[in-house]
Amino acid sequence: GESVGLHLPTLSVQEGDNSIINCAYSNSASDYFIWYKQESGKGPQFIIDIRSNMDKRQGQRVTVLLNKTVKHLSLQIAATQPGDSAVYFCAENRRTNAGKSTFGDGTTLTVKP
Amino acid sequence: NAGVTQTPKFQVLKTGQSMTLQCAQDMNHNSMYWYRQDPGMGLRLIYYSASEGTTDKGEVPNGYNVSRLNKREFSLRLESAAPSQTSVYFCASSEAGVAAEAFFGQGTRLTVV
């Protein structure tokens, strides 16, 4: 079936290092991808998005890369800070699915001081 | 801005009891969603409402009913709670269309004993 999944359930990095969180998807008809951050006890919050006709998008300290050939996207966080510790989800939307998001399982990022 | 507001934040039910989770958004969004999140997993869609007056099943609708009371409010009802429905429930809303991020509430932690 169709799925969105993350490669690693946990990631631990040193404060100040760069973090890379990966996500694979199976449906080539995906139109739009979103990364969400979920802090403990809170709902997910939007970080950055990318349309399927793009291969890179940059925000403040975050970059999303999309490789449609291998159906893979990644979230890169520069100079990771303790406040970046959270669970990160990738999600994909398709026009054929009325725009509803399908979420991956999440990667827990821990930033060590 | 309040964004998406869910009530209650915590609830303990006995097996067989019923309850309604309330959700309201003040962003004038057409689309609203109910997700459940189980430990170590992503969000799974229970029901969604693309617009006032319409509702559709998501990935895991069994045991739940919803009501889109008006554009602002979307409630989730458990008619006869089961231990398998122990989870954290999130309500979300978004603008219509595929390229729309979802805004989430803080979640309701439900335990069924």
Backbone phi and psi for residue A41, each to the nearest 5 degrees, phi listed first: 80, 10
Residue A15 CB neighbour total at 10 angstroms: 13
Which residue, among A34, A79, A77, A78, has the nearest Cα to A52 in the 3D structure?
A: A34
Residue B14 CB neighbour total at 10 angstroms: 8
What's the pLDDT score for residue B96? 79
pLDDT at A1: 46
Contacts of A32 in chain B (CB under 8 A): 98-99
Percent above pLDDT 70 for chain A: 92
pLDDT for residue A2 is more than 70? no
A43-84 pLDDT, tens digit each: 999 999 999 999 999 999 999 999 999 999 999 999 999 999
- State the nearest Cα–Cα gap between B18 and chain A, in angstroms: 24
Mean pLDDT, contiguous 10-residue spans, chain B (113 residues) = 91 98 96 92 91 92 96 97 97 85 95 98
For B57, which residue in chain A has the nearest alpha carbon? Answer: A100
Q: Which of A31, A100, A103 sits opposite B42 (nearest CB)?
A: A103
